[in-house]
């Protein structure tokens, strides 16, 4: 049993280190000679990369950040862990995935100052419940094209997650585990916490807005 717990601890450390890879910082320094944290919003995430460097590096950073959340959840938990002291395999997946999210948000390779964790959390949820995360993506996109706020879109999408997990089982004949439901209820609070500075700016009316994403408002102006 002691060896099993030690194995789990090592697995969580590996997951954390995987999530800690500072993709945006590496890309900005290696290819553009800047530290992305010193430009734009100062956040080491895909949104700020898009704002400062454009959509191509932002797309690469976002995809890698998503992969950082998917890999520990789908692969590490399923294939690298044996003799687990936890009966529910979903718990191991959640632990590994969230360790990666914490690694992205508080990366050991950049003074524990990383991104907001949205992309890595999305990768984790793709591994856990792909149908729900697809619907959350729709919520994200609709909010973004309506308001232009990425932060608000992330908060709304995360808040929709537990709702979708509750209404999907009757529609798709699937039953998420209790551990997944409990975790889904905690996700919005984590996203709200990591976006607390954005919420303050939203209340003050100073939050950065993606005008280009506001398709609906542009159509109204052109009409």
Q: Give 72-98 pLDDT, tens digit per residue.
A: 999 998 887 665 566 677 888 999 999
Residue 6: band (very low, low, confident or very high) from pLDDT cuts 50, 70, 90: confident
SS3 content of the chain, % helix, strand, coil (to 5): 80, 0, 20
Q: Which residue has the higher pLDDT, 43 or 160?
A: 160
Quote the percentage of the chain above a pLDDT of 70: 88
Q: Quick one: pLDDT at residue 16?
A: 97
Residue 5: the pLDDT is 78
Q: Which comes out higher in pLDDT, residue 134 or 223?
A: 134
Residue 107, C-beta contacts closer than 8 angstroms, at least 6 positions apart? 19, 20, 21, 22, 44, 113, 114
Q: Which residue has 């690694």 as its token pair?
A: 103
Rounded distance between C-alpha atoms, residue 56 and residue 34, angstroms: 16
Place 53 in a pLDDT band, splitting at 50, 70 and 90.
very high
Pick 19 or 173 by higher pLDDT: 19
Q: What's the rounded Cα separation, in Å, for the pair 158 and 139? A: 9
Tokens 């895909």, residue? 46
């Amino acid at each position: 049993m002691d060896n099993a717990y030690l194995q789990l601890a090592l697995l969580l450390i590996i997951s954390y280190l995987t999530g800690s890879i500072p993709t945006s910082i590496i890309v900005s320094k290696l290819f553009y000679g800047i530290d992305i944290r010193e430009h734009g919003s100062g956040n080491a995430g895909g949104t700020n990369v898009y704002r400062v460097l454009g959509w191509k590096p932002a797309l690469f950073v976002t995809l890698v950040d998503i992969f950082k959340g998917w890999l520990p959840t789908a692969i590490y938990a399923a294939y690298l862990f044996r003799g687990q002291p936890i009966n529910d395999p979903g718990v191991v997946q959640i632990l590994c995935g969230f360790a990666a999210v914490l690694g992205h948000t508080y990366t050991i390779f950049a003074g524990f100052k990383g991104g907001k964790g949205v992309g890595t959390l999305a990768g984790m949820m793709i591994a856990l419940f792909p149908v729900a995360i697809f619907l959350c993506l729709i919520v994200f996109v609709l909010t973004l094209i309506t308001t232009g706020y990425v932060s608000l879109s992330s908060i709304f999408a995360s808040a929709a997650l537990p709702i979708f997990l509750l209404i999907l089982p009757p529609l798709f004949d699937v039953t998420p585990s209790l551990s997944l439901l409990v975790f889904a209820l905690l996700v919005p609070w984590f996203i709200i916490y990591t976006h607390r500075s954005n919420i303050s700016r939203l209340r003050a009316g100073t939050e950065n807005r993606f005008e280009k994403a506001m398709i609906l408002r542009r159509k109204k102006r052109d009409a």
